[in-house]
Amino acid sequence: MQIGLVGLGKMGGNMRERLRNAGHTVVGYDTNPDRADVDSLVELVDRLERPRAVWVMVPAGGATQHVIDQLATLLKPGDTVIDGGNSRWTDDEKHAEELGKRGINFVDAGVSGGVWGLKNGYALMVGGDKETVDDLKPVFDALKPDGPYGYVHAGKVGAGHFSKMVHNGIEYAMMQAYAEGWELLEKVDSVDNVREVFRSWQEGTVIRSWLLDLAVNALDDDHHLEKLRGYADDSGEGRWTVEAAIDNAVPLPAITASLFARFASRQEDSPQMKMVAALRNQFGGHAVESAKK
């Protein structure tokens, strides 16, 4: 299958490679010319055969809106735009309406996998009408992990990004639990090898997970996380999850507390946030801040 890909950063660049490895033709555009296959969105669209499919992989908000506005003037009825960034689901509904007036299809795809996606595949949560989603299935099959899981058509437009938002809210709470446990183990005198305690949990325990494996990786690199400042940013999806919970009267005490813990990290050098920062760096390549000397 042929597809255009806009945004070739940490995720988009690896997605292009994974798609090509699966035999698909990918025409990529990025504002960084060293990454791009073409010099402009106009050239990208011209290189694609109709009906075209263009996957947008740029930061949520203004950047995504700018690209979609441009594509709306370049694409033709029957073409499709896929937003694979971390857009808010309410923006998906707006984009689908805007493009729909021009006869252009819209699909939203929540994507998880971070910097490991090229090797392991990307978990995909997709929203849109069935016919359009089915037409894109070869692309989704190439990007998803091997095996029966890792892909879902979650529902109508917005369902993909809403599902990914909830996924990230759960991720916040899981990371916070590991971070709190790590700080408590580090605090007591009786435990003198916290890293190996974490490593021992990787087999046979009910809390083993990929996040635990990444925590061990981080501790192997920095035994007591002394190189990191206890600061962890929030991407926005944690906030949106809590806001959606309020709108729907659904109690989310653990996820809400984990979001507030991120805010606390901005006020002081939080030991727990060292672990959260280390985990975000391990699975997503998110930036970390060095500890002050």
171 part of the active site: yes
The active-site residue out of 144, 171, 183, 237 is 171
**DSSP class per residue in 186-222:** HH-SS---HHHHHHHTTTTSTT--HHHHHHHHHHHHS
The active-site residue out of 164, 183, 237, 274 is 164
293 part of the active site: no
Catalytic residues: 164, 171
